[in-house]
Amino acid sequence: MRFRRSDVRTEATLNPRRMSGIDSMFLRLDRGSAYQHTLKIAIVDPSTDPDGWSFDRYRALVEHQLRVVPTMRQRYVDTPLGLHHPQWVDDPEFDLDVHLRRVVCPPPGDMAQFCTLVEQVYCHPLDRDRPLWQVWVVEGLQGGRVGLLALIHHSYSDGAGMRAILEAMTTAEPFFVPPQRDEDRPVPAPPQPSTLQRVVFGIRDLPPVFRQLGPGIQALRERIRLEREFAEGGAGDRPSGADRRKPQPFGGRLARGRRFACGTVPLEDMRQVGKALGGTINDVFLACVAGSVRAYLTSKGEACTEPLVAAMPLTTKPAAEREFPGGNFSSSDDVWLHAEIADPVLRFDATRASAQATKEHFNAVSDADPFGLVDLIPGPVFSGLIRLDERSGGGRMMPVSNVIVSNVRGPDETRYVGRCRLQNWFSTGQVWHGATLNFTGWSYAGEFNFCVLASSRQVPNAWPLVEQFEGALNELVEHAKSRPAAGKVAGAHADSKPMAQ
């Protein structure tokens, strides 16, 4: 069943819930310069609201919508001695005004100025004593628009779940916020569990983890067997473990700073290229990323003689099948970025073949997903592995390297924030040590929006990558116009499971 507004508990409190191993992984990865919050950006058009823009009305709307998604009123508490993963509990001191920030974009209020503001805001860790999110309301954008810049920690949810949460906080029609009644005011949250209670709860919740030990070891053995069979089958058009360990242009340690830029292209252009060249929206996206990276490296005088490794976050459980929209049901697989191929059509053909090989590999080994083993690793041990990975420059312990590519299908219809039309919607995940460049696509209402997020050491300026992505797509569009359709695109993102970021 699909996650709907009516499916969500609307009372002010939720029962404490244990993080999964993957949820906890994102929390432990968040250290130093490896920020683990994601970006969700809405550009709203207040001209559809008869009363115009009002920060106070927006605040009232958020207060109302938090009844729909009460998980955003929860903070985490550790389990003493690392006995178990942390728990989400209602924050008894929740204060909405702490999470809503109001700023004005410097003139002229264009996307370049806005993205510079995003870079500055992103590089501040979230306060771990409160729910792990903030929304920066950015006024003063060109055309009277307003930017809603949300920083949401990845430990809450993967991309598929976050899309469901964000859709629950918007509406398909203009929505007038009703005056708050006394009975609508949040019920005070209970006190946080004491240290002793957290110890008791951690011990109480351990037996299911122990029961996973046998199946987990068996899954690891099965994974090794499946990987061997897959390699022997000759489907080798995807990176191997050895390929991931080779030096990559976007490997290395993260800097403190980030670079961010975003762009929008017509979704119909992506569809037409896929139809003409016989691929999917995801093939087009990956081919354009490869073209962008090729042009970027070439402009710096770096030769592109071999394909580059990219990591694709994947969702193992669609949001429609989840009991609760939050949580991380994530895995990852590698795909080639064929930046070594100059011809755009040949690059697309190679990309399509590589994406198909990655899809086949993921489907073949998905029943033995190594991410499931994260639940079995004690927290202190996992923290130690993360520190070792950080010292090595990344890419050793973590299943990502070089470039992260994620492509999420967003809402097809226009959404509203109150009575303001949601004009554009951008989303991106994070970058890791060893994977310092992230391309994320997020379709919305007939447009394909994409973001580039990078470590400032490896990418001093992200805008060339946006321009080169657009250039790579324009090349494919011109080729698509000169030939009949080779196939049909079944959907905007038909060839892969929903991405996780």
Rounded to the nearest angstrom, the gap between the alpha carbon of residue 23 and the centroid of all alpha carbons in its chain is: 13
The dihedral over CA atoms of 259, 112, 417, 180, expressed in degrees to the nearest 10, equals 80
* Beta-sheet strands, E only, within 117-245: 133-139, 146-153
Q: Which helix (DSSP H) or strand (DSSP E) does residue 17 occupy?
A: strand 17-18
The answer to whether 85 is a known catalytic residue is no
The answer to whether 407 and 441 have CB atoms below 8 angstroms apart is yes
Backbone torsions φ then ψ of 338, nearest 5 degrees = -85, 65
Backbone torsions φ then ψ of 435, nearest 5 degrees = -140, 85
160 in helix, strand or coil? helix
Strands 416-417 and 447-455: unpaired
Structure tokens at 121: 């805001």
Q: Which helix (DSSP H) or strand (DSSP E) does residue 258 occupy?
A: strand 258-266
**Which of 260, 255, 280, 257 shows the shortest CA–CA distance to 270?**
280
Distance CA 160, CA 501 (A): 7
Residue of 37, 84, 154, 493 with catalytic role: 154
Q: Which helix (DSSP H) or strand (DSSP E) does residue 443 occupy?
A: strand 437-444
Tell me which residues are annotated as active site. 154
